[in-house]
Amino acid sequence: MVVTSRVSFALSGIITVLLFSGMQMYKSWLASTQLHTIFGGYIGSLVFIFSLTALGNLETIMFGQSFQMKLFPEVFISLITSLIASGLVHRVSTTTCFLFSMVALYYLNRISQETYSTSAPVAPVHTKKRK
């Protein structure tokens, strides 16, 4: 199901806030064991993905469809936000959040390149024939 940029901005913003508040509500549980701490980093990477989506949709609404997100400031702001959210849970969650976020960013970039990249038409090369 395809939604507009406005609806996607609202949904991803709400999900970001819900994930962040859920991490804070279950902070003690997420810091209780090693596996839960790694899970806290994974949830932090989801905060990264959804905040990046919200920020990208906000810029699309404000600047138009042709606007592209860049490494700085969009990705950097989303990454710092998710790392701070994970750091409020546990230090190891910050590290795993960074690792999961980098993997997610790689795949988001790959999907974006496959979806939105346009290949330039190849011009035929004319060569002179020698007689």
In a domain, 126, yes or no: no
In a domain, 43, yes or no: yes
Q: What is the pLDDT of residues 64-123, one digit of tens each?
A: 988 888 999 999 999 999 999 999 999 999 999 999 999 999 999 999 999 888 776 767
- Is residue 36 pLDDT above 70, yes or no? yes
In a domain, 40, yes or no: yes
- Is residue 48 pLDDT above 90, yes or no? yes
Contact 16, 51 (CB under 8 A): yes
In a domain, 123, yes or no: no
Report pLDDT for 124. 73
In a domain, 120, yes or no: no
The C-alpha atoms of residue 125 and residue 29 are separated, in whole angstroms, by 65
Q: How far is CA 108 from CA 31, 50, 60, 121, in A?
A: 28, 12, 17, 25
Distance linking the first and last C-alpha atoms of the chain: 61
In a domain, 124, yes or no: no
Q: How many domains does the chain have?
A: 1
Contact 52, 106 (CB under 8 A): no
Q: Determine the residue type at 126.
A: H
In a domain, 119, yes or no: no
Query: What residues contact residue 81 under an 8 Å CB cut-off, 6+ apart?
Result: 47, 48, 51
> Which pLDDT band, with edges at 50, 70 and 90, does 15 fall under?
very high
Note the pTM of the prediction, 2 decimals.
0.88
In a domain, 59, yes or no: yes
- Average pLDDT score over residue span 20-43: 97
- Least confident stretch, 41-45, 59-63, 86-90, 124-128: 124-128
Q: Which domain holds residue 33?
A: 5-114
